[in-house]
Structure 1
């Protein structure tokens, strides 16, 4: 079996969550935006372990493990008023074309596909996505929209995270 090394972020795609709980076809998904170099990460928390002991025995009889949650974080460098409205809330003015924010945070759920240059891709049929504006407004800084996404259960008996090798994906077109 060949070694699999995962690196590089080729693209992050989004689509509306399907009522079936299945992952949308990749061809129907759109690129969320331009991901700032070196800003994307995928991490899983340690999780919880419950050890069950027999009285007087220092070694557990049973260990019950609960996996930790997965978090994807990335920064988009080409945010525009529509993206601010889509992921933060508010609206885009018809005439002014300005983002008009009323202070009410929007709850966003999307299907998410993370495709690296090589290695393992990750699919979340349903993910909670939150975003905040961050950055430096100077000559060497860049304003970004910083995203955090966590997989959600897409439905009873459905898988919340799917992963496979990029090399096994069917080529587009």
Structure 2
């Protein structure tokens, strides 16, 4: 069984690890972390340009900082399960285009199209599923179904079926999205 560690033990392990790192490795970690924080500030709208956030990075560490930026931005390009996610996704895509240039400009339209296709596919299947549920209920009201145990079991079964179907669709689209994101690393 795994041992639960105290905050002190975790802090001591970190200090030990830092002690075993070379000065160069410590500097690289510092600038990669700076890149990650810059990307987070960019995504939250605290800074308008990634270049502004990275202007104090020494030239020999700019690639390290950009790697941190890239990691955070790529993690924010996700399948949109909610329309409100699009603002963050688009902001991440703009940031990647800013730091990667023409490479990102070539891939971003494909990524955006894939994400839109995901949205429309999910919407289509959701509508189909609603129709199937409506037909299966035979005109019974959802609230009335939830009142008796048979109806409750039917609703739970339908929810499980939808969860399985949506997970399969998401997995198919994730398999297409991941290579595009890997290309931008």
Q: Which has the higher contact order (CA 8 A, sep 6+)?
A: 1
Structure with the higher fraction of residues in helix conformation: 2
Q: Which has the larger radius of gyration?
A: 2
- TM norm. shorter chain > 0.5: no
**TM-score category of the 2 structures, normalised to the smaller one:** under 0.3
TM-score (norm 1): 0.18
